[in-house]
A = this chain, B = another copy of it.
């Protein structure tokens, strides 16, 4: 078993370079970090030694000495959700530009995994935290928030002192969604929610109820189905929908995946979308434009959300935050596509009769 093939090669330290160039370590360090501070001749001498030795500074030593890690922790509920992937892209664009690295904290929809990342943050492995989770704050994360570590919440307004929020106007958008469906003539609604313990859900449901009230309806005019932000939640909602005798004619899904799952399932039972039931999603993921029919949905400015969130976090880290930056709420865009349309009472009734 030949181990030595892949043993690390001898590591070159700054002292080695200094010796090679015949200068002190301080000079080498200066050449590398602030070339203006050394004479041209010395500079060239050192650079030659750096080149010949292949020296690369040990970043851990730098981090320790400079007291910053140049890393940011991004805690996301689930990596395979395109929404978070897209936000992460925005975050990445902004952070790598500033030389920061991203450590990912994937909860995989299991909240108890938060603890691990709280530890990571508290042990100063990162200079700041970006919270993409929409969980309602609990003791777990309290330490983190109290530690003074810069934190920015994306995706969910954590109404707490010292934590800036960069979020979308989901409440307003959800409300508009209901109003839009009401304008199309719908009277009975279905609401496919997210996990009840998430702030996102609280916001969106509040917006939904506002919309219901604004359009002159009551609690009795809609049904609510609950589950995490995944396809199967929509499928489950569809099963329940199919059992109903007085089916809603319009469905609002709090995420595109649920909407897609719902549509797939009801179409398998010959329920037509949008003739028999209109469906509107939320998120605007890329897939939503490739389903059949294409999904009407509210597009979140995901990439921008990530960029802006990262920017705010960097400002927090660099202590250049101004009060007016505290809270940012980005607008959504309604993408009117094929899954919504006016109620067709006749069609709907005949379908219902044939299903009996």
Hey, which bits of chain A sit against chain B, CB under 8 A?
A: 1, 3, 5-9, 11, 56-61, 63-64, 69, 71, 79-80, 82, 85-86, 88-89, 92-93, 96, 101-104, 106, 108, 113, 116, 119-120, 122-125, 146-150, 161-162, 231, 260-261, 264, 267, 286-287, 290-292, 316, 319, 321-323
Contact = CB atoms under 8 A, between A and B. Distances in A.
Contact of A82 (B82, B116, B321): B82
Contacts of A125: 59-60, 101
A109 to B, nearest CB: 11
Contact of A148 (B6, B92, B120, B292): B6
Contact of A79 (B3, B88, B162, B316): B88
Contact of A64 (B5, B64, B101): B64
Contact of A89 (B63, B69, B101, B108): B108
A146 B10 CA distance: 12
Given A60-B64, A290-B260, A104 B123 contact: no
A286 B231 contact: yes
A116 B96 CA distance: 9
Copies in the complex: 2
Contact of A6 (B82, B108, B150): B150
Contacts of A321: 6
Contacts of A59: 120, 123-125
12 contacts: A7-B148, A9-B148, A58-B123, A59-B125, A60-B125, A80-B82, A82-B82, A89-B108, A101-B120, A102-B103, A103-B104, A104-B104
A70 B154 CA distance: 27
A82 to B, nearest CB: 6
A8 B317 CA distance: 10
Contact of A60 (B60, B108, B146): B60
A80 to B, nearest CB: 5
Contact of A290 (B69, B261, B286, B319): B261
Contacts of A116: 96
A86 to B, nearest CB: 6
Nearest 10 CB-CB pairings of A with B: A59-B123, A8-B148, A292-B292, A80-B85, A9-B148, A60-B64, A60-B63, A92-B106, A59-B125, A79-B85
A268 B142 CA distance: 52
A283 B106 CA distance: 22
A84 B259 CA distance: 24
* Central interface residue in A85, A116, A323, by most chain B CB within 10 Å: A85
Contacts of A148: 6-9
A172 to B, nearest CB: 26
A264 B290 contact: yes
A6 B80 contact: no
Given A71-B103, A92-B104, A292-B292, 11 more contacts: A6-B321, A56-B124, A57-B123, A58-B124, A61-B64, A80-B86, A80-B286, A103-B103, A231-B290, A291-B291, A291-B292
